[in-house]
A = this chain, B = another copy of it.
Amino acid sequence: MSDPYPQPIVTIDVVLLTLKDGELHAAVALREREPQAGQWTLPGGFVHADEDQDALAAAVRILREKAGLESPYLEQLQTFANRHRDSRGWSVSIAHYALVPLAEVERSGDARVKWLAVDSIRTLPFDHLEILRTAVSRVRSKTLYSSLPVHLMPKTFTLSELQRVYEQLLGSSLDKRSFRRRIEELDVVEPAPAGRAAGQAHRPAQHYRIKRRAGRELAMAERNLGIRD
């Protein structure tokens, strides 16, 4: 390379979130090398120029390698780039955030990560606390306007369960009728084929699942989901 300027270090960090006991939890991984070896940090690593097609692919690889997980929802959060965030010099973290349903976390059972309630985390190495808080704030603001929280749900769920997840993320209760109207407008869930409900005296609540075409695309609401009709 002919450029005279020393190039910054480039890393990818991922804020991986799940909802557990009604609270957002983030994954932290034990860091193996210096700086900050032996500390719990956000899962992260260098871009592998030979194997990663792009930043998103690098984030997918890092989640798989460091947390043993694939996330149904992963996107770029923001890039943190300055001269003081890493003792090695001017450095760039292309930060991403990902949501994963709790059932997936439990199925994977990867012991290299631990899950901390985000509101209880007071300190993290580097600028990882700032990255974490930016991600949590992004998730909460997207919750107001989009279908994002469906990616925290198990394979099938009732609308009451979905509403509870929105409420837990927002920290406030929602009007049931307005909520259902907004979810209908978002058009991202569909009735799931009825499971067996043997022995139930009453008709069970309808279960829903994410529409396949919704995939990783978010549906955006015209109005704040908290607004009553």
Binding site for B on A (CB under 8 A): 1, 3, 5-10, 46-49, 52-55, 76, 78-79, 81-83, 88-90, 92, 94, 222-224, 227
Contact = CB atoms under 8 A, between A and B. Distances in A.
B88 A5 contact: no
Contact of A7 (B5, B10, B55): B10
Nearest to A55: B81
A95 to B, nearest CB: 9
Give the dominant DSSP class at A's interface: loop
Contacts of A78: 76
List the 9 shortest-distance A-B pairs measured between CB atoms, nearest first.
A54-B82, A55-B81, A49-B90, A79-B79, A5-B46, A8-B10, A79-B94, A222-B224, A223-B223
23 contacts: A1-B9, A5-B47, A5-B48, A5-B49, A6-B49, A8-B47, A10-B10, A47-B81, A47-B90, A49-B90, A53-B82, A53-B83, A54-B81, A55-B92, A79-B79, A79-B94, A81-B94, A92-B92, A92-B94, A222-B223, A222-B227, A223-B223, A223-B224
Given A7-B9, A7-B46, A223-B224, 14 more contacts: A1-B9, A3-B46, A5-B46, A5-B47, A5-B48, A5-B49, A10-B10, A47-B81, A49-B83, A52-B83, A54-B81, A55-B82, A55-B92, A222-B224
Contacts of A49: 5-6, 8, 83, 89-90
Contacts of A52: 83, 90
Contacts of A89: 49
Contact of A79 (B9, B46, B55): B55
Contacts of A90: 47, 49, 52
Contacts of A3: 9, 46
Contacts of A1: 9, 88
A49 B81 CA distance: 11
Contacts of A92: 10, 55, 92, 94
